Amino acid sequence: MATPRLEGITVLADDVEQLSAFYRDALGLTIEVAEEHYVAFGGEGVRFAVFSRAGMLANTHDHPAYRARTTGQAFELNFECADRGEVDERFAWLSTHGAEAVAHPVETAWGHYTGFFADPEGNIHSLFAVLRA
């Protein structure tokens, strides 16, 4: 049996329009598909999309997991930047476009310069650059 390929990552949202606008405007992602309950972004690699919680509830025949908003962090998106300067610039830009600064960028033990931010739905993600020796 062949191993299935990871094709996409979908973030659930209460407000698809607001969250997709954040990813478009604050991170520069290009919208390829825009529907009332679903937005998909273009780019190489794994497809990234935003889908409504209500839509997922309907698609899963009212599965209890989608009835109430979850708490806690279940995933993290990592956005790689070219260098420290780009991380700092993008991190500052995000705060003017609806993101909340969670942890300002610092050098990490694993060789990255990383900062964490929350998107308008409260999902925490990172911006990072690999530190070159």
pLDDT tens for each residue of the chain, 133 residues long: 888 888 999 999 999 999 999 999 999 999 999 999 999 999 888 999 999 999 999 999 999 888 877 777 878 999 999 999 999 999 999 999 999 999 999 999 999 999 999 999 999 999 999 998 7
What pLDDT shows up at residue 66? Answer: 85
d(CA 22, CA 24): 5
What pLDDT shows up at residue 62? Answer: 92
What is the value of pTM for the model shown? 0.86
What pLDDT shows up at residue 133? Answer: 74
- DSSP character string of 26-95: HH-PPEEEE-SSEEEE--SSSEEEEEEHHHHHHHTTS-GGGTS---S-----EEE-SSHHHHHHHHHHHH
d(CA 99, CA 121): 9
Residue ranges matching CATH 3.10.180.10 in the chain: 1-56, 77-133
What pLDDT shows up at residue 16? Answer: 97
What pLDDT shows up at residue 34? Answer: 97
Paired with 47 in beta bridges are: 8
What pLDDT shows up at residue 3? Answer: 83
Residue 71 structure tokens: 């708490």
d(CA 96, CA 12): 23
d(CA 10, CA 8): 7
What pLDDT shows up at residue 71? Answer: 78
Q: Does domain 1-56 fall into CATH 3.10.180.10?
A: yes
Q: Does domain 77-133 fall into CATH 3.10.180.10?
A: yes
Asked if residues 123 and 23 have their Cβ atoms less than 8 Å apart, the reply is: no
β-sheet with 47-52: strand ranges across: 8-13, 47-52, 38-41, 31-34
**CA 109 to mean position of chain CA atoms:** 24
3-state secondary structure of 90: helix
